[in-house]
Structure 1
Amino acid sequence: MKKENPAAWYSLRRTLPPWRFGETLADLLELAPRFGIDEVIVKIDTEEFSHGHPDLDWAERYREKLFEVKARLAELGISYSLNPWITAGHADRGRNDLERLPGLECVVGHDGSVAKHCACFLSPVWREHIRALWRIYSETRPQVMWVEDDIRTFNHEPVEFGCFCPRHLRLFGERIGRPMEREELVRAILAPGRAHPWRREYLEMQRDIMVETAAFLAKTVHEVSPETSMGLMSSGPRLHCLEGRDWTRLAEALADGRPLYSRPPMANYYEDSLRGFYYSQDSVKLTRAVLPAGTVELTECENVPFTRFSKSVKFTFLELAISFAYGSEGVTLNLFDHAGTPMRAEEHYGRMLAEKKNYLTALMLATRPEGRFRGVRLIHAPGASAVKRLEPGAAYAELAEDGFEMMQALESHGVATTYQESEVAALAGETARALSDGDIRELLAGGLLLDGAAAGILVERGFGAWIGVEGIAPPVHRRDLSYVVSAEEFHNAGFGGEPGKYLTATLPFLGSASRFCDLRLLPGAVEVSSWVDPDTRRVAPAMSYFENGAGGRVAVHAIEYRSSFGPSFCHPFRREELHGVIDKLSGGVAPLRFSCDGAYALAWRKQAGKSTVLGVFNLNLDDWNRGVFTLSWESGKLPEIRSLDASGNWAEEAEIRAERIPGGITVKVERSVSSDLPLVLRLS
């Protein structure tokens, strides 16, 4: 894409199958300009009709078609990039490359499962083949060569996690100084309690292999086309903890001296619930946070299996709006099938792209300037999997980093989150083990929200006096507590509560699988809420607040968020509880919180130069009739406010006004907000 692009950038990912090439190319050349497409990323040998690892004769024949595509797109002023669908392979899908590539070594799972298509990155046959194949592709000199997210060590069906093939085991044995069998290594990796040192060593081995593999792919392309940039589709940093990914080293190796392109996953491959967008915005922000500055970001908007039975046009628009609202430079669009069906069969998506381009451009220009997203800082630790403590019988997937549910708990109640610096932070679960004592002291000197699991780790590490906790037991099901818990009473008026204000303890839903942490407070700690029994007697603290000697403010919620977040967690009273606590932790007024007469907001605040952009998506089918943004505000003057209309124009609205409050402002919205269009405001 152009470095300083003046409009919302659309990159269409499109397959032109050789057996219907002429028709699908003509369809593309006719419709791409009408849809406002800026770039076409040609996907090769894709999906249903993939051959697995394509043979070189096939690739050489298809290369001539790619030259034609590039030339015809250039006539239209549309950029050309390339997306081989297979690097190592996502899943076997019935393919058997062991027969087609003699000597190919495929991944072996932790459970002994063996793939027939998904290649091991150490396989010499795979490397020889991919080098020859990608040299053929690189001759077309694409703007970007995209590496799919099969450059990872998990989810290579039928293999779930890792590679424990003979080559990996030999290499691991060399690192520890003795031979190693798969079963012994897996037992050590999944051992309960304190992490076995072999787990870290295995993750570091995987990390080094992936960095070297990324360098190999980039060098292969740049030997032929040095001006081509490399692009990386990823699978979410919390999951990549499972492979010990070092994002900085991997990015530098793959970039190979060129600008790096990133395609963060937005999930929502099909339309399930608007609430899926909580993952989308978090994935964009977190992936950006772990990659080097200057990385070009184009989000991944998917639609599988590529019709309106899968995803509505309105849902697709909201996905694009979230991309640009959260500061992305463009979107990659995987909207049309890869089975040879012309785009005109689902032209509704294209009409939307054209109609909404002015709006999305205005949204992009408002949020792209340098600045920061304001909110509660979420903590990500790339080394979380190496130190996470497992319980007996834990599955490999449980090595993934905690923290996703904490994000959902805050965002679904109108509390904006960020991965940038902030006066208040939130930390959940076993991620706390991956932080140094210095990291923890820094957090404890500001505002910090802890779930019970993270609080227990801090107490274990000697920080109990810093958080106002004398003792806290590990998380257990409420049936294993010494007292009966029926509900949480949010009774403290200093945080917006009042006696008799009850929240259910049947979390996260009717199955009641939540885990509770028995909490004992130190003198000076304030009880924000309490657990009550069936007779409404208060039996234990549920949430506490404490101000420590370092000037820090700490709240502890005596539940494990990983097992507790769900429909039962969400409630108007919960919103009041979290808003009151976050304000206290912020030392006045939160960076941003949003309330409305409905449910499920997704709010954001971008500070860019002299302007502040506020926005909120309604992730509920019910319209709201009024809403209030509350935010810290340093200026002595009330801002001028303009809202973004559906045509991409900024205008004043009499129904939207700002008012002063101590330490901040409120922006009151006295008009309806539907799920069809986000409310976006520019304050200056």
Structure 2
Amino acid sequence: MLTQRLGFENQKDENYIKELIRIIGRNPGSCDEIWLATDYGFPPIGKHRESASLLGKSAELLKAAGIRVSLQISNTIGHGDYMGVRDCSGLDGAERFTDVDGVRAEYSFCWHGTRFREYLAEVIRIYCAAIMPHRVWIDDDFRYDNHSPAGKGCMCDSCLKRFNKRYGTLYDRQALSSAVRNDPRRRKDFSEFITDGLCETAEFIARTAVSASPGCSIGYQHGVGWLPTESGCRKLFEAFEKGSGKSVGTRPGAGTYNDLDPSDMIRKLDSIGYQCSVTAGMTDEVRPEIENFPHVAFGKSPAGTCYETSLYLAGGADAMSYATMMYGFEPLSWHGEFFRAFSLHRRYWEILSGLSRTTSGSGIVHYIPEDAWKRHIPGNRNGYDWAEIPWYTGNGIRRCGIPVTFDRNVPEPLYMLTAECAEAMSAEDVNYLSGKPVFCAGDALAVLCNRGFGNLFSASAERCDTLLLYETYSGHPVNGEAAGRRWENGLLHREGAVIYDRTGETGILGTYGCDGNAPGTAGEISSATVKTSSGAEWYVTGQYPWTPIISHEKRGQMIRALDRISGRRLSAYSKGRHEVLVLPRENREKQTVSVTVLNTTVGTANGILLDVRRPAGRNVTAYLPDGNNMRPGAVFYDGGAEIALPAVQAWNFCTVVFE
């Protein structure tokens, strides 16, 4: 379940490996697997042979100690110009990676290049034969973007000729660059061309690995958008599986190199969640990378690393990999502090891992259209915003105790829709969502109306500036005791929308007001339940909702409105005013099996109450990261339960399991 990734010269040192084995032995459950890594850079093949011979001896020691060994291919295409610090002389003369605008990367290479492929294949064969790894992990430089200083490609001279031949075009580089920026048809061609090239190379890599080490399989390390389309990302995993004949592992990542800001790991959780949603059902393990670069004492602490591990396991991962000791900047005695902490957390992590393997994430499902690349973006910064998948915009509400998920296996989903995703939706997407309960900001409804879909809704919307406006809650039952009161957040988020009832079927939840020089939108609808032509209902709020900085009454409106439009499909949420992250998980019968709560404040949270719908059983256990467990207070009602959690320390967890 727990993997340490080694690197550079320490992994070749017999004494270092023996001491590492002793540390692992003194801390049971702290490490199950070691990744040994190929030499970083592109040195001559002879240097790789020397390194592989030494790593083979390290692998023998580790395997003899009962520790599984896998192989890390440190670079394939090349990470970028910072690789120039290493020996890259082994690929002198090979064709360089070049982006569609003609920018060339000196330390990254065209995946079609004959010399590059011969070199890469020999590297893979040498290390696989020496180590005989369980799995070969392909590093995240195997991508079409981010090969600094180059951007999206490869579109070197040879690739440009291939493109023109394939599509019957006569583009020079400047013309193709313009077409890819502005013409959706050429975006499609470009995406298809890039995807097919990388997939063919992926299959080649996998075949090469298993030919040298028949028992191995392939794992792929990646971030968001390793290819321009979701279908292309899935196709790449299919290519690795086809080439190896075995299922593939995934290692999603998203930075977060230190623990100076624990909130950044919540952003990474969302990134991992989105990445895993793209390849759901295609992989045999979800093993995110915790990357403590540059692996120094004043970077990420053992406590921060354990917090990050718990977060991702609670969010759907079933294993974890650590890049915490690749460099020799700190002694093994310091790294031993991590192993001690991991050993203490092992029992808790095994519970979370088991839940991830047998359940699905639950909550409001972030709807991301398949064809996001088609969208036209006003004020396009660089011509390639269409290739930036808008997965990240709506998750601020997570810290209000309202669960959000990217898991696409949620039965009877309640969706959330952002304006960025509304821009990208096809007519089929819109028709599908019009039959589902949806939570959106008014700007998303405004986008759909502007695109010609306004006849599907009982209300329309227009963007407006909410800086001078507040919202007064109506007497609608959704508002409860907040009726007649008001709130505002225009000083923090002034990008809003005004809602207009079209048919008389719109449920008015609030109206805009102003005590000064009133804008024209004062008195108009600020939040509403909106009927669709398919008989569904949407909850639309004009003031920016994707933020944790809202009032308790506004959050109450959100929860009750979501319950109204979805028939209480929220599986769990926190009651009261605690700032917490809520991560519920469901089984196939739509029952809530577990809820993990993260206290996202700097102080201890006492008295957290959860409202849990459709619990899987009445036997309730609360698990804490230190391995302890207890029976929490539980009051069951028809269809749900109210759970009183024990005290949860600052930036720490409690997981409630129903059996």
Alignment TM-score, normalising by the size of structure 2: 0.90
Q: Distance in 2 between matches of 1:594 and 1:321?
A: 19
Q: Distance in 1 between matches of 2:202 and 2:11?
A: 32
Maintained 8 Å contact 1:190/1:390: no
Q: Counterparts of 1:101-500 in structure 2 under 5 Å?
A: 101-139=91-129, 140-191=131-182, 195-236=183-224, 239-240=225-226, 242=228, 246-256=232-242, 257-265=245-253, 267-291=255-279, 292-339=281-328, 341-365=330-354, 367-394=355-382, 396-397=384-385, 399-410=387-398, 412-419=400-407, 420-421=409-410, 422-470=412-460, 472-473=461-462, 475=463, 478=465, 485-491=468-474, 493-496=476-479, 497-500=482-485
What is the CA-CA distance between 1:593 and the residue it aligns to? 1.8
Maintained 8 Å contact 1:203/1:386: no
Maintained 8 Å contact 1:485/1:531: no
Give the structure 2 partner of residue 31 of structure 1: 23
Give the structure 2 partner of residue 6 of structure 1: none
Instruction: Report the AA paired with residue 620 of structure 2.
Output: I
Stretch moving more, 386-395 or 299-308:
386-395
SS across alignment from 1:357: helix
Maintained 8 Å contact 1:203/1:243: yes
Instruction: Report the AA paired with residue 137 of structure 2.
Output: W
Question: Which residue, 579, 595, 605 being the options, matches 1:624?
Answer: 605
RMSD across aligned C-alpha pairs, in angstroms? 2.9
Q: Distance in 2 between matches of 1:484 and 1:324?
A: 40
Question: Which residue, 598, 609, 634 being the options, matches 1:657?
Answer: 634
Give the structure 2 partner of residue 4 of structure 1: none
Q: Distance in 2 between matches of 1:171 and 1:269?
A: 39
Report which structure shows greater RCO (CA 8 Å, sep ≥6): 1
Q: Distance in 2 between matches of 1:529 and 1:241?
A: 42
Question: Which residue, 39, 61, 64 being the options, matches 1:72?
Answer: 61
What is the CA-CA distance between 1:84 and the residue it aligns to? 1.8
Change in 2 beyond 3 A, CA 1:247/1:54: same
Give the structure 2 partner of residue 556 of structure 1: 540
Give the structure 1 partner of residue 586 of structure 2: 606
Question: Which residue, 494, 513, 521 being the options, matches 2:501?
Answer: 521
Give the structure 2 partner of residue 542 of structure 1: 526
Q: Distance in 1 between matches of 2:599 and 2:205?
A: 42
Q: Distance in 2 between matches of 1:623 and 1:222?
A: 51
Question: Which residue, 634, 652, 656 being the options, matches 1:677?
Answer: 652
Alignment TM-score, normalising by the size of structure 1: 0.86
Instruction: Report the AA paired with residue 69 of structure 1.
Output: S
Please list the CA deviations of residues 287-327 of structure 1 after superposition, one character each: whole Å capped at 9, or x if unmatched.
32222345222121111121341112222111111232233
Instruction: Report the AA paired with residue 254 of structure 1.
Output: F
Please list the CA deviations of residues 405-442 of structure 1 after superposition, one character each: whole Å capped at 9, or x if unmatched.
21333454423424223331112124335444344333
Please list the CA deviations of residues 350-388 of structure 1 after superposition, one character each: whole Å capped at 9, or x if unmatched.
1101121122223333x1453322211222334312334
Please list the CA deviations of residues 194-249 of structure 1 after superposition, one character each: whole Å capped at 9, or x if unmatched.
x532112111211111211211111111221222110001102xx34636652332
Contiguous gaps of at least 5 residues in structure 2: none
What is the CA-CA distance between 1:86 and the residue it aligns to? 0.9
Maintained 8 Å contact 2:362/2:583: no
Instruction: Report the AA paired with residue 431 of structure 1.
Output: C
Q: Distance in 2 between matches of 1:70 and 1:334?
A: 18
Maintained 8 Å contact 1:490/1:503: no
Please list the CA deviations of residues 64-109 of structure 1 after superposition, one character each: whole Å capped at 9, or x if unmatched.
1121111111111111101021111112116188864232122223
Change in 2 beyond 3 A, CA 1:677/1:600: closer
What is the CA-CA distance between 1:20 and the residue it aligns to? 6.8
Contiguous gaps of at least 5 residues in structure 1: 1-8, 509-513
Change in 2 beyond 3 A, CA 1:392/1:589: closer
Give the structure 2 partner of residue 641 of structure 1: 620
Maintained 8 Å contact 1:403/1:427: no
Change in 2 beyond 3 A, CA 1:293/1:337: closer
SS across alignment from 2:255: coil
Q: Distance in 2 between matches of 1:515 and 1:640?
A: 46
Stretch moving more, 670-679 or 376-385:
670-679
Give the structure 1 partner of residue 492 of structure 2: 507
Q: Distance in 2 between matches of 1:330 and 1:393?
A: 38
Q: Distance in 2 between matches of 1:275 and 1:606?
A: 25
Q: Distance in 1 between matches of 2:273 and 2:581?
A: 17
Change in 2 beyond 3 A, CA 1:76/1:611: farther
SS across alignment from 1:319: helix
Maintained 8 Å contact 2:291/2:323: yes
Change in 2 beyond 3 A, CA 1:670/1:614: closer
Stretch moving more, 322-331 or 82-91:
322-331
Give the structure 1 partner of residue 5 of structure 2: 13
Change in 2 beyond 3 A, CA 1:448/1:211: same
Q: Distance in 2 between matches of 1:182 and 1:553?
A: 48
